[in-house]
Each structure stands twice: as C-alpha cells, then as structure tokens.
Structure 1
Amino acid sequence: MWKNYFKTSFRNLLRHRGYTLINIVGLTSGIAVSIFILLWILDEVSYDRFWPNSDRIYSVMVNAKMPDGSISTHPVPPANLKEVLADEIPEIEAVTRYSFETDLLIKNQIEGFKETGIFADSAFFEVFGLAFSRGNPGKLNSIVLSRELAEKLFPQENPVGKTINLNQKQELTVTGVFEDVPENTSLQFDFVVPFELYLKENPWMENWQAGGSRTAVLIRENSEIPNPKIAGLIQNHCAECTSSPFLFPYQKHRLYGEFENGVNAGGRIEQVYLFGFVALLILVMACINFINLATARSGSRGKEVGIRKAIGANRSELMVQFVLESVLLSWIALVLAVLLVHLLLPFFNELTEKTIKLHLGSPIFIAGMLLLTLLTGILSGTYPAFVLSAFNPLRVLKGDSRSMLGGVSLRRVLVVAQFAASAILIVGSSAIYQQITYISERNLGFDKENVLVIDQNEGIVKNYAGIKNDLLQLPNISNVAFGGNSIFTVPITSSDPVWPGKPEQSNISFKILRCDEGFIPTLQIPLREGRNFVGVQDASNYIINKKAAEAMGLDPEEAVGTELEMWHGKGQIVGVTEDFHNDNLKADIEPMIFMYSENVGFHYFIKVSGKASINTTVAQIESVFKKHNPDYPFEYSFLEEEFNREYRSEQVIGKLALAFTLVAILISGLGLFGLASFTAERRTKEIGIRKVLGASAGSLSVLLCGDFALLVVTSMVIGFPLAWYFVDQFLSDFTYHTEVRWSLYLVTAIAMLGLTFLSVGYHTLKTAWTNPVDSLQNEG
C-alpha cells in the first residue's frame, strides 16, 4: 500500500512540473532560512555553556544607587567582597576574582606576540572548571597558557617550566597548559596570570568603594541562590557605600545582560525571539503557497478522487495519499535546502560575524531537520488533503465542477496574510536600513574620518614624545593625540565637580575624558569659547562642553575663567566646546569635562591628511612605531571602524532583515505566479467568450488583475499599521533617529502592486492571446 502511495505521489509531482517547481523553490527557500536561523539561535543559546558547572556559576553584580536616585547595574564589585562571600555565605562553594580581558605583550626568548589574557586567582580554575592538558595553575610569578598559545610560543616543545616575559615588566614561569576556550564563550583569553600581580599594580582596588575587577561564585549543588543574604554585604563593611550586590546566572549574560534601573530588561534574547518568529513566518508563507496551489488545482484532480472513491478508496486513505505528496515535496526541499545552506554558510558567517558550522552528523541537528520537514509537510498538506478527499464522487464524475472549487475564501485569506507579512518585512527592513544610513551619515560634532586609533602599551608610554615628534615630521600627518577613552561612548561619569554656586544636593553627572592638548584639534572638535590645553601647565585646568556649562548654570559665552574643582584639584575652565555626540546615538548628548592627561587612559589618535595613499601613510607610521617600540607588534584601527562597531548589532539585524525580506518576496511572488496560472487556466472559457464579444487583451488583463490587486491592497491595509508600530518601537530606542516618511509606504505599495500585475498579467495576456476557438473547444 505504501509503495503504491509513493509511486502515485511521484507520478503526480512529475505530471505537474510547474506546480512542483514552484512549491519546491518556495519550500526550499523557507526551510533554508529556517536552518540558517536555527543555526544562529543554537549558537546564541550555547554561549557560556562550555564550562563544566555552567548551571552553578553566578556572576556577582552590583546595583549602585546614583545621585539622582536611579540605579546603575554593573559587573564590577569591590575586590574585597571575595573574602566576605567565602567566609559568610555557606551556599557558596568557591569564589574567584578575575580582571577584564587585556591585550599584553608576551615574549619567549626570540619574539613577542600581543595576546589576550586575564589576571585571576587560583579559585578561577575551580569555579570555571578549566581543563588542563599539561601541568596545573601556579602561584605568584607564574602563568598558564592555552594550548594554541603554547604551541605558538614553544612549537613542538613542552612549555611547562619555560620562562616568558610579560609586557616588558615581569619574568614568569609557565606552570600549565589549558584547553582552548571555544568561540561561543563570552570570556575569551589565551593566558592567565595570578590576580595578586594585578592587585600589586592597582592597590586602589582594595578600597570598598572601588571596582575594577569581576567576581564569580560556584553555588553548591541543590542550594538556594543566597541573594537576600548578600544584598547588604558591601554596606556592612562600608557605611558610606550605597551599592548592593546580587548573583546573576553566568550563562545568561549573553542573552539577558541588560538592566534598567536595577531590573533585568532582557538583551540579545529579543533578537533570538525576533529571528525565531521571522523563520516561522517565512516557513508558514511557503506552506501557504502549497495550500493555495493545492486547493486551486483541486479541479484538475477531481476526477482522480472520484474514480478512486468509486473503486473503493475511503477518505482516510486519500488523505494519507495527499499528505504524503506534501511530505515528499518537503523531503526534496530539505535536501536542496541543506545543500543551499552548505554553499551559503560562509557568506552567512561573514554577515553575522560568526563561525557557525553545519554539523550534518549531529543527532540534534538531524532530529531538528526531520521534525521541521515533517511538520512542514503535514502543515502544508493537511488542509488540501481534507478538501480533496471530501469530493462527492457522483457529482465529480457527472462533471459538476462547483463541487471541486472549494477553499476560495481560505485562499483569499492566506494571500492577504502572506502579503501583509511581506509588507511588514519590506517596511521594517527599509526602516532599519534608513536608520543605519542615518547613523553613519549624521554629523557627530567632530571629524572621525582618516583617524587611526592605536591602543596604549608600555613601549608607547615610555617613548611617546619621540614617537609624536617623528610622526609630525611625516608629510601626511596633521595631528597626534592621546585620549583616555573611546570618544563615542565615554564610560567614566562623576558628580564630583564643584563650581561656584553648585547646589548642595546636586546630582548632576558629568562624563569625564582625559586627553592631551592634541585631542581636540585631532578630532576637530569646535571650540566655542576660550582656548585648548597647551601642556602640563593646564594639569589642573579644564575644558567643558556647552551642555556642561548649561548644567552648571553658566552662560557658555561667559564660562571661561570660572573656578572648577575636580580630581586634579582646583583650577579654571579655560575652554568651552560646542556640543558633540559623546555617547551612543541611543542616548542624548551628556555634559562633559575634559581633564588634561598624557598617559592615563587607553588610546592614541593620529589624523591622516593629504592626498597620498592611506596604505603608504600607514606604512610610514608603522616604521616610526617600530623604531621607538620594536618589541610590540604594530596594530591599529580606524576611528570610523570603532564607530561602526557601536552599531554592529543593528547592522547585523538590518542585513538579515533585508535577506529575509527578499526571500519573503520571492515566496510571495512564486505563490502569486502559480495561483494566477491556475486562475487564468480555470477562466479560459470565460476569457475566450469575452474576447469573441470584443474584449481587448488589456481589458481582460485588468479584469483578472483587479481581483488579486484587491487582495494585495487589503494586505497593505492590514500590514502597514503593524509595520508602523514595529518600526516605531525600534526607532524609539534611539534618541537620534531617522524619520520614516509616507513615501516608504508608497514605494512599498507600488512595488507590491507591480509584482501583482507582472505575475497575474503575464498569465492573463498569455491566455487572452490564445485563439478563442481553441479555448472554447478545449475547455471542459
């Protein structure tokens, strides 16, 4: 019986090649998109599950009460909190402190490499369960390396017991080699150095009011999370502190790492939900095509059903037959989709900046694909099977075609739903693209073009004067500057500044940026009043932006000369800049204070000008750094690249949304093309009669296009308001955003109607140009 079902299914698919091709292309596109998104989601949810006890690892977070009463959440508790947690909280099995990832110079006896590592105490390996292939964690003046770094530094040698130099400061002995940390882990490092060395260089971290490092704990099995017990630990040891610690699951940082006013507000999980919904939507659109085409061609299979029922086939057997055809189509589409994913995966990885692999042998992947395909086939085939198997054999065999034309209303509803979804995707992806374009083209208030950014290291700090002097001798270098932080998202804020007339209960926070005299001219930040820094004589003087002057209650034009006391002591405001964006465009421009510094910070900025090749100029810059700083590899980025990184998530969403929109349009267009073909075929006699009575091909085309155009217009009436809502929600996250004009909706409407007229008009004209005599003779 099953053999007969399969044989009949194959024959039907081969007999109706156009119908089969349309369905296979649509289902292949839908399944391929679903596989891509499934792979992306699996990669996202797998983050930080590499650690053996990942379900018991918790980060120590801090809710810090700000002067204005708001709560800021961050992962940098006081370093002293470790011992208190270990001594006073019995539910905690182990506690570790570790630094943020840092790039340092590591040298063997021959050459040096700039590598990423962390400072961590010995409990780090117990908490995270890091596996060692050689040796074990050491104590003071030791270092452990990843397998990859060990092979890089000591190829084909046992590195344990070898000595390496760290950052031109310390000689350390390699005591162990650990397994490489996978890419789907938030914490990326290739070496671990004892935390005691970090504390030695940063003694201020032992103050209860200071942060600077991270803390993680391992909770005992079957223990409750002791958040109520630890909430007051900081204040118990620091009366003036206003921070409250709590534990947050480590494996949730990737997807749920955003907090608003002390409350978890989600994070990347919203993207997971969004793309999961899009995958389901596109797959359903492909299934809609199958349902529409299957029910539309029900008339051509009416006699088949009638004959099979007449010779004894029951309804359940017919339903199995038709569902099997759908499942068979899905299997064919699955094979093609997997092949398509395999071919396009490198482009997908480049688009999403991932290294996802297609594990065809993975039981989870195989089970997921089988289930996805089976559900797709059943979803696509159940309703058509229900409709086709319900035909009355007597009426069908007598030629009563009305009994074979069911499902018209449903087809109309499905076409409307399909094009409404397409309208939402088209408007949504266009709006995201407009916002990304708006961000990249917006005047930030400073010049980010042709500015090289070089990270600070010990060699540059020691030789900065010589490096700067030699760089300024190059013909295409106009300025060289030091800047403490990224100009785009200045992270340091303070309410400490004191000025004449400051209210006692003032809670105004100012962004603080340390820089030298070259910073403002290098980035061409306009000075509104006063002057720039001129050197170390301005060590206790300050420059503010216009917004800071207004926040202090000062007239920006008269603020120069006003006394201001800050971390460098009492000084004066010597300059006022125009306002410029000093944060992500999701936030407003903040009051800001420049403090003079030549080395407290992280970055150097080099402004390239002139008409010479940028590659030639970079090579000249590299030669200067190699001359004064030969031990460190020369690494740089462009300030514009740093800016683009701030919006990487939005860029990925925009690119994926565009790709998914194109697939949705393809599926909708294919469905409309196939449906128009069957509609024109069904109305062949009507078209022939109208043509005999004098109707032109154009008028016949308008007649048939009108029915489909009405459905598409209805879909836009439904889809456009929903699209406007989703776009408004997306743009509301940005303080500065583009305006989505009515013209976007007009262009989308024209495009959708144009697709409709092309798809339907082609079949209508093809039928209208047929000799009406043939139409009237052949129409049964």
Structure 2
Amino acid sequence: MWKNYLKTSFRNLRRQKGYTLINILGLTSGIVASIFIFLWILDELSFDKFHIESDRIYSVMVNSERPDGIIDTYPANPSRLKETLVNEIPEIELATQYSFESAVLVKHKAEGFNEIGIYADPNFFRVFSFPLVKGSVDNIQNKLNSIFISEDLAIKLFKDETSLEKTILLGQDQELTVAGVFKNIPDNSSLQFDFVAPFDLYLQENPWMQNWASGGSRTTVLLSENSEIPTNKIANLIQKNCTECTSQPFLYPYHKLRLHGEFENGVNIGGRIQQIYLFGIVAIVILIMACINFINLATARSGSRGREVGIRKSIGANKSELVIQFITESILVSWIALIVAILLVQLLLPFFNQLTGKNLALDLTNPIFLLGLVSITIITGVLSGAYPAFILSRFKPISVLKGDNRSLLKGQSLRRILVIAQFSTSAILIVGSIAIYQQINFISNRNLGFNKENIIIIDQNEGIVKSYDGIKNELLHLPGIENIAFGGNSIFSVPITTNDPVWTGKSENSNINFKIYRCDEAFIPTLNIPISNGRNFLGTQDASNYIINKKAAEAMGLDLETAVGTELEMWNGKGQIIGVTEDFHNDNLKFDIEPMIFMFSENLGSHYFIKVSNQASMAGLIDQVKGVFKKYNPEYPFEFSFLEEVFEREYQNEQVIGKLALSFTIIAILISGLGLFGLASFTAERRTKEIGIRKVLGASSKSLSLLLCSDFAILVFASLLIGFPIAWYLIREFLSTFTFHTEIHWTLFFFTGLLMLGLTFLSVGYHAIKTAWSNPVNSLQNEE
C-alpha cells in the first residue's frame, strides 16, 4: 500500500514540475532558515551545560542597594565571603573563588604572549568540569608558584617539549612552575581563559579585597545533592560582618547567567533568552509561510486533481486513503526540501558563522539535532498537506465526473486570508529589520561629544609604565602622531561609579552617583572633549584637583561660573574643580548621560590612546609605533586596537541581531514571492477563457494585465493595513530600550509598501502579461 502511495506521489510531482519546483524552493528556504536558527539556539542553550554537575553549580551574586534605593546586581563579592559560606552553610559541598579574566604577559625563555587568564583556588577544577590532560589538581594546593595552562598555550610556549615542571614568567616578576595542562576551553563556556594561577597570589597583590565592603572576585558554589537553595541563610552574611554594608548575597544558577543574566532593581528581567524567543518565533513564522505556499497552491490546483479524486473514489478508495495519499505527497516534498536544505546549510555555514561570530557545525550524528530535523520535516509536511488533503478527499465523485466544478472552486477566501497573513508577516519583518539597521546607523553616526576617529588603543603593562616617558617622547616625534594620552577603561561605558564625592553645599541626604574616570593631562585634548569653562589638567600639580561634566555640575547644584573653584574631596584627596566639560556620552546609548568626574592619574588605568592625523598612512605608521614600543618594551608582544572598533564591539550584539533579522527577512520575502508567483500562475490559467472573451470584446492587453495584478494588489494593501500597526508597535518597544534612538519616520512604511507592491507586480506581472498578450482564439477553443 505504502509503495503505491509513494509511486503515485512521485508521478504527480513529475507531472506538475513547475508546481513541485515552487513548493520545494519555498519549503527549502523555510527549512534552511529554521536549521540556522535551530543551530544558533542549540548553541546558546548549551552554554555552561557541559559541566558534570551543572544543575548543582550556583554563582554567588550580590544585590547592593544605593543611597537612592536603586539595587545593583553583580557577580563581584568580597574575597572573605567564600570561607564564611563554607563554614556556615552546610548545604554547600564545595566553593571556589576566582578573579575576573585579564590579559597578562606569559613568557618562556625569549618568547612571550599576552594571554587571557584567571587566578583561582584549588577547588576551581573540582567545581567546574575543565578536565586536565596532564598533572593533578592537588599540585596547586597551597603552592604560590604553580600554574595551569591550556593545551594551546602549552604548544605556543613549549612547542613539542614536555610542559610539566617547566618555569614560565607571568607578568614582569612572577616565576611560576607548570603544574598541569587542561583541555582547551570549549566555545560554549561563558568563562574563557588560557591559564589558571593561584588565587592567593592575586590576593597578595590586591589586599584591599579582604575588606567586606569591596568586591573584586567571583565565588561559585557546588550544592550538596538534593539540598534546597539556602537563600535566607546567605542573605545576611555580608551585613553580619560589615554593619555599614548594604549588600546581600544570593545564589543564582551558573548555567542561567548567560541567557538570564540581566537584573533590574534586584529582580531578574531576562537577558539573551529574549533573543532565543524572538528567533524561535521567526523560525516558526517562516516555516508557516512556506506551508502557506503549499496550501495555497494545492487548493488552487484542486480543479486539476478533481477527476483523479472522483475516479479513485468511484473504484473504491475511501476518504482516509485519499488523505494519506495527499499527506504522503506533501511529506515527500518536505523530505526532498530537507535534503536540498542540508546541502545549502553546509555550503552557507561559514558565512553564517562569520555573521554570528560562532563556530557552529552541522552535526547529523547529534540525536537532538537529528530529532529536530526529522520533526521539522514531518510537521512541515503534515501542516502543508493536511488541509488540501481533507478538502480534496471530500469531493463528491458523481458531481466531479459530471463536470460540476463548483466544489472545486472553493477555498478562495482561505487563500486570500493566507496570502494576507503571509504578506503581513513579511511587512513586519521588513519594517523591523530596517528599523534595527536605522538604529545601528544612528548609534554609529551619532556625535558622542568627543572624537573616536583615528585613535589607537594600547593596553597598559608594567614594561610601558616603566618606560612611558621615553615611549611618549619618541612617538610624538613620529610624523603623523598628534598626541598620546593615558586613561582608564572604556570611555563608552565608564564602569566605576560612586557617591563618595563631597563638595561645598552637599546636603546630608545627597545620594547622587558619579561616574569616575582616571586620566592624565593629555586625555581630554586627545579625544577632543570640549571644556566649556575652566581649564584642563596641567600635570602632577593637579593630582588632587578635578574636572567635571555639565551633568555633574547640575547634579551638585552649581552653575558653570561658580563650579570652577568649588572645593571637592574625592579619592585623590581635597582639591578644587578646575574645569567643566561639555556633556558627552559616557555610557551605552541605552542609558542617559551620567554625572562624571575626571581624576588625574598617570598610571592608575589600563589604556594608552594615540591620536593619529587624518593624512597619516596607517599601515606604515603602525609599524613605526610598534618599533618604538618593542624598543622600550621587548618582553611584551605589541597588540593594539582602534577606538572605533571598541565602540562597535559595544553594540556588537545589536549588529548581529540586525544582520540575522535582515537575512531571515530576505528568506521570508523569497518565500512570499514564490508563493505569489505560483498562485498567479494558476489564477491566470483559470481565467484564460475570461481574458479571451474580454480581449475579443475590445479590452487592451495593458488593461487586462492591470486587472489581473489588481486582485493581488488589493490583498497586499490589506496585509499592509494589518502589518504596519503591529510593526510600529514592535519597533516602538525596541527603540524604547534606548534612551537615545532614531525616530520612526513615515518614509519607512512608505518604502516598505512600495517594495511589497513591487514584489507583487514582479511575481504576478509575468503571468498577467503572458495571459493578456496570448491569442484569444487559442483560449476560446479550449473546452475545459
């Protein structure tokens, strides 16, 4: 029986080659998009799940209440908290403490590399599943001179030599012995590093972390099996040891941090998981659009299969057998589309990886992935074929064989509804993807209040600090170098905030938070930050003086004239405000400009900023700059980036989302166009005789072409009326997450409408013109 179903299905598909090709192309496009989204979602969901006890691993987070009542949530906590957790919370089986990742010079003999690493205690490799290929975790116990390195770093440092017990230099003066080699960290680990040094060594260099009010490290715990999260026992551990502290620790599942890591006022509000939901919905929508094509084309050509159904029923075929036959035909098309889709995905996967910054692979041996593919194929086939199968199987054989075609012409209303739904979805996707790109362009082109062009950034290290004066003098003598400055972390998102500043007239109840940025006297001129009143730093003579922005002056209750000269006490001691800058963006554009204070510093920071003239030849100049740095700092590899690149990385996630949205929108448009093309073909075929009569009566080819196109144009207009309000609402919600954003302009909807109409006329126009220009004699001779 099944053999007969398959043979009949193959015959029908071969007989209707054009119809089959359109369906396969539409379903292939939908499955390709679904596979890419499925791969991306699987990768995102797999993050940090590879740890053997991932369900029992919890990160220690801290809720810290500001004076204004706002609660900040972060993973940094006091270093003394770990020991307290182990001693006082019996539900905790193990706890490990480790630093944040940082780039440090790792050197063996004459060769050195800047590598990302962490400092961790011995339990790190017991809590997390980062397996060792050489050495033992016990080797790190209470040893300050041991280090663990990755397989890749071992190869870089020692080539084919044995790495164990070899000595390497970490930074400028830490000589450590390799105690073990661990497997390279998998891509789906949110924690990425190439070496693990003893945490006690880090603690010795940063004794301030012993203070209960500080937070310079991370703590992760492994709960005992079947134990509940001891929330109440943990909440007061910091305040019990620090009466002035407002921080409250809590446990949060470690594997959820990547996707559910955003908190607002102490409450989890999601995070990247919203992107998973978004693109999961997009995948489902695109598949449904491909199924709509199948349904529309199958019901449209029902007249050509009516006699087939009538004959089958007259010789004994029952309704269930016919349903199975048509669904089998649909699933067969889905399987063919799947095979083509897999080939296309394999071909396009490198481009997709480049687009998303991932390293995805099409693993057909993965049972989850394989089950997903089979499920997508069968569900798509059943969804596509179910409705046409039940419609066709209900035909009455007597009526059909007598030539009564009224029952065969049913379903026009449904086809119109499905076309409207399809094009409404396309309109939403088009408007949405364009809006995302407009916001990205708005961010890229916005005047930030300072100059980010032609500025080279070089990370600070001990070698540069020791020779900075010599490096700076030589660099300034190079043609093309305008200035060199020293500053702190990212100027685009200044991380340090405090309410410590004290100024004349500050009220006792003041709870204003200020962003703090350390820099030298060259920083403000190098980035061309305008000073509206007062002056810049002059050097070490201003070590205890401060510069503020207009927002800070406003927050302090000072006007521009009285602000300069006002006494201000901060971490550099008592001093004066010597200058007020214009406001500039000192945070992500999702947030407002914050009050900010510049503190003078020549070495407490992390970056050097080199301003290059517009006329300079960048490639040659980089080589000259490298030569200067290697002359004074030969131990360290020369690495650099551009300030513009740092800015782009700040919005990398939005850029990826925009590119993915545009890519899947193009696929959705392709599917809609294919469906419309096929439907127009059958519509034109069905109306051939009507067109012939109209032509005989004097209708022109132009008017007949417009007549055929107008039916579909009305459907597109209806879809725009439905899609545009939904698109407007979704765009408004997206843009509302940015304090600074582009506006929703009417031209966005106007050009989207033109694009949709253009797609309609391209899809329908060919068949309309072909039918309108055909000889009416041929159509009127046809006795169908």
For the aligned pair, the TM-score class normalised by the smaller chain equals over 0.9
Letter of the structure 1 residue corresponding to residue 225 of structure 2: E
Q: Is the 8 A contact 1:533 1:596 kept in 2?
A: yes
- The partner residue of 1:571 within 566, 572, 575 is 575
Q: Is the 8 A contact 1:46 1:184 kept in 2?
A: yes
Q: Establish whether residue 691 from structure 1 lines up as the match of residue 673 from structure 2.
A: no
Q: How does 1:266-665 map to 2 (within 5 A)?
A: 266-665=270-669
Question: How many Å separate the matches in 2 of 1:130 and 1:94?
Answer: 16
Q: Is the 8 A contact 1:684 1:779 kept in 2?
A: no
Question: How many Å separate the matches in 1 of 2:738 and 2:365?
Answer: 43
Shifted more, 696-705 versus 237-246: the winner is: 696-705
- Offset at 1:754? 1.8
Shifted more, 756-765 versus 213-222: the winner is: 756-765
Question: How many Å separate the matches in 1 of 2:205 and 2:647?
Answer: 31
Letter of the structure 2 residue corresponding to residue 367 of structure 1: L
- Offset at 1:157? 2.4
Shifted more, 260-269 versus 691-700: the winner is: 691-700
- Offset at 1:361? 2.1
Question: How many Å separate the matches in 1 of 2:180 and 2:614?
Answer: 51
Question: How many Å separate the matches in 2 of 1:444 and 1:483?
Answer: 18
Residue of structure 1 in register with 2:770 after alignment: 766
Q: Establish whether residue 188 from structure 1 lines up as the match of residue 186 from structure 2.
A: no
Residue of structure 1 in register with 2:670 after alignment: 666
CA shift digits 1:270-329 (9 cap, x unpaired): 000000000000010000000000000000111111111111111111111111110010
Q: Is the 8 A contact 1:685 1:779 kept in 2?
A: no
Letter of the structure 2 residue corresponding to residue 426 of structure 1: I
Shifted more, 145-154 versus 668-677: the winner is: 145-154
Q: Establish whether residue 174 from structure 1 lines up as the match of residue 178 from structure 2.
A: yes
Give the SS at the match of 1:452. Answer: strand
- Offset at 1:771? 1.0
Question: How many Å separate the matches in 2 of 1:450 and 1:433?
Answer: 24
- Offset at 1:156? 2.1
Residue of structure 2 in register with 1:154 after alignment: 158
Q: Is the 8 A contact 2:355 2:656 kept in 1?
A: yes
Give the SS at the match of 1:254. Answer: coil
Q: Establish whether residue 21 from structure 1 lines up as the match of residue 21 from structure 2.
A: yes
Shifted more, 748-757 versus 534-543: the winner is: 748-757
Residue of structure 2 in register with 1:8 after alignment: 8
Letter of the structure 2 residue corresponding to residue 454 of structure 1: I
- The partner residue of 1:700 within 685, 700, 704 is 704
- The partner residue of 1:227 within 214, 226, 231 is 231
Shifted more, 106-115 versus 428-437: the winner is: 106-115
CA shift digits 1:734-778 (9 cap, x unpaired): 000001101111111111112212222221221111111110111
Residue of structure 1 in register with 2:263 after alignment: 259
Question: How many Å separate the matches in 2 of 1:764 and 1:770?
Answer: 10
Structure-2 change in CA distance of 1:779 and 1:655 (3 Å): farther
- Offset at 1:130? 2.9
Letter of the structure 2 residue corresponding to residue 374 of structure 1: I
In structure 1, list runs of 5 or more residues that go unmatched. none
Residue of structure 1 in register with 2:68 after alignment: 68
In structure 2, list runs of 5 or more residues that go unmatched. none
Question: How many Å separate the matches in 2 of 1:415 and 1:22?
Answer: 16
Shifted more, 760-769 versus 561-570: the winner is: 760-769
Give the SS at the match of 1:656. Answer: helix
Question: How many Å separate the matches in 1 of 2:180 and 2:691?
Answer: 83
Give the SS at the match of 2:360. Answer: coil
Give the SS at the match of 2:502. Answer: coil
Residue of structure 2 in register with 1:213 after alignment: 217
Give the SS at the match of 2:577. Answer: strand
Identity level (%) = 70
CA shift digits 1:659-681 (9 cap, x unpaired): 11111111001101110110110
Structure-2 change in CA distance of 1:439 and 1:610 (3 Å): closer
Question: How many Å separate the matches in 2 of 1:63 and 1:723?
Answer: 37
Question: How many Å separate the matches in 2 of 1:110 and 1:44?
Answer: 40
Question: How many Å separate the matches in 2 of 1:619 and 1:494?
Answer: 40
Question: How many Å separate the matches in 1 of 2:677 and 2:560?
Answer: 65
Structure 1 stretches of 4+ moved >3 Å? none
Give the SS at the match of 2:569. Answer: strand
Give the SS at the match of 2:363. Answer: coil
Question: How many Å separate the matches in 2 of 1:152 and 1:621?
Answer: 25
Letter of the structure 2 residue corresponding to residue 593 of structure 1: I
Question: How many Å separate the matches in 2 of 1:450 and 1:488?
Answer: 16
Letter of the structure 1 residue corresponding to residue 264 of structure 2: E
- Offset at 1:610? 4.4
Q: Is the 8 A contact 2:454 2:614 kept in 1?
A: no
- Offset at 1:698? 1.6
Report the TM-score when normalising by structure 2: 0.99
Question: How many Å separate the matches in 1 of 2:304 and 2:394?
Answer: 15
Q: Is the 8 A contact 1:417 1:715 kept in 2?
A: yes
Q: Is the 8 A contact 1:305 1:393 kept in 2?
A: yes
Give the SS at the match of 2:62. Answer: strand
Question: How many Å separate the matches in 2 of 1:559 and 1:636?
Answer: 38
Letter of the structure 1 residue corresponding to residue 627 of structure 2: S
Question: How many Å separate the matches in 1 of 2:592 and 2:560?
Answer: 19
Question: How many Å separate the matches in 2 of 1:34 and 1:265?
Answer: 27
- Offset at 1:779? 4.3
Give the SS at the match of 2:562. Answer: coil
Give the SS at the match of 2:301. Answer: helix
Q: Is the 8 A contact 2:50 2:129 kept in 1?
A: no
- Offset at 1:266? 0.3
Q: Is the 8 A contact 1:96 1:215 kept in 2?
A: yes
Question: How many Å separate the matches in 2 of 1:610 and 1:288?
Answer: 55
Q: Is the 8 A contact 2:459 2:606 kept in 1?
A: yes
Q: How does 1:45-194 map to 2 (within 5 A)?
A: 45-137=45-137, 138=140, 139-194=143-198
Counting matched residue pairs gives 780
- The partner residue of 1:711 within 715, 723, 727 is 715
Question: How many Å separate the matches in 2 of 1:297 and 1:180?
Answer: 57
Letter of the structure 2 residue corresponding to residue 14 of structure 1: R
Give the SS at the match of 1:306. Answer: helix
Q: Is the 8 A contact 1:231 1:246 kept in 2?
A: yes
Q: Is the 8 A contact 1:102 1:116 kept in 2?
A: yes
Give the SS at the match of 1:216. Answer: strand
